[in-house]
Amino acid sequence: QKEVEQNSGPLSVPEGAIASLNCTYSDRGSQSFFWYRQYSGKSPELIMFIYSNGDKEDGRFTAQLNKASQYVSLLIRDSQPSDSATYLCAVKGDAGKSTFGDGTTLTVKP
Amino acid sequence: GAVVSQHPSRVICKSGTSVKIECRSLDFQATTMFWYRQFPKQSLMLMATSNEGSKATYEQGVEKDKFLINHASLTLSTLTVTSAHPEDSSFYICSAQRSLGLANPHEQYFGPGTRLTVT
């Protein structure tokens, strides 16, 4: 079992819809959770981070964390074609090292 | 967000030569920098963790004598690929973590990456 698991996709949603990206992790001691967006040929860009259980909203993005279920998700409202990218979930423990999932490829169709 | 630069952005070298890649945090001090490698359509693979003033910690399977890492200051880390071979061709990305004491001490910011091609 991988330490951080994501559905590889591709996930395809129409423009304006909500895109839901999911991530599970195996280390119960994980402290911090991050979502990165990576466009093809580019490096990852941090878009959201969350430390506490519950929801955290930033513009069109909402991160949701459930430590009991070891689950973190990212919702993108009003999806735009420019949101089409690979989304990486990262989990960080006490050691300070992030473990990345393999990423979910999102395609938003106009 | 914080700014991390990498230089060069793209390099082509001949087999057997060495290549140095620089990673700089431009507007914050980074006690820890990470070096990743990413092959096409694959996930990020952590190569090593670099702490300022100490030896880097390499991940299993990464040759420390081939991938030399120096983190001489709080804003600069370098990765040198020695005796490069075609199989070392990849996208190398550094990441800098903010020092403790700021509002979000675990934030990690990526450089734009360096695409290495070894011929």
Q: What is the pLDDT of residues B23-53, one digit of tens each?
A: 999 988 888 899 999 998 888 899 999 988 8
Would you say B37 and B48 are in contact if contact means Cβ atoms under 8 Å apart?
no
- What's the confidence (pLDDT) of residue A98? 84
What's the whole-number average pLDDT of chain B? 89
pLDDT of residue A95: 67
Quick one: what percent of chain B has pLDDT higher than 90? Answer: 67
**Residues of chain A contacting B, Cβ within 8 Å:** 31-32, 34, 36, 42-46, 49, 88, 90, 92, 96-98, 100-103
pLDDT higher than threshold 80 for residue B54: yes
Task: Give the one of B106, B107, B110 whose C-beta lies nearest to A44's C-beta.
Answer: B110
The residues, any chain, with a CB within 8 Å of residue A76's CB and separated by 6 or more, are A18, A19, A20, A21, A60, A61, A83, A106
pLDDT of residue B31: 81
Number of Cβ within a 10 Å radius of residue B29? 14
Give which of A86, A87, A84, A76 is closest to A107, Cα–Cα: A84
Q: Phi and psi (nearest 5°) for A14?
A: -80, 155
User: Alpha carbon of B111 to those of B6, B35, B116: distances in Å?
Assistant: 6, 10, 15
Q: Which residue of B has its CA nearest to A47?
A: B1
**CA of A69, closest CA in chain B: separation in Å?**
22
B38, B90 contact by CB (below 8 A): yes
| pLDDT in the model for residue A64 | 97
pLDDT at residue number B1: 61
Q: State the sign of the Cα–Cα–Cα–Cα dihedral A51, A76, A100, B11.
A: negative
Confidence of residue B116 (pLDDT cuts 50, 70, 90): very high
A9 pLDDT band (50/70/90 cuts)?
Answer: confident
Nearest-CA distance B96 → chain A (Å): 11
Nearest neighbour of B112 by CB, restricted to A43, A97, A101: A43
How far off is chain A from B60, nearest CA to CA, in Å?
A: 14
Chain B residues in contact with A87 by the CB 8 A cut-off are none
| pLDDT at A100 exceeding the cut of 60 | yes
Strands A104-109 and A11-14: parallel
How far off is chain B from A103, nearest CA to CA, in Å? 7
Give mean pLDDT, residues B58-79: 93
Nearest one of A40, A37, A42, A13 to A90, comparing CA atoms: A37
Mean pLDDT of A63-86: 97
Instruction: Tell me the C-alpha distance between B97 and B54, whole Å.
Output: 16
Average model confidence (pLDDT) across chain A: 92
Q: Is B41 in the A-facing interface, judged by CB distances under 8 Å? A: no
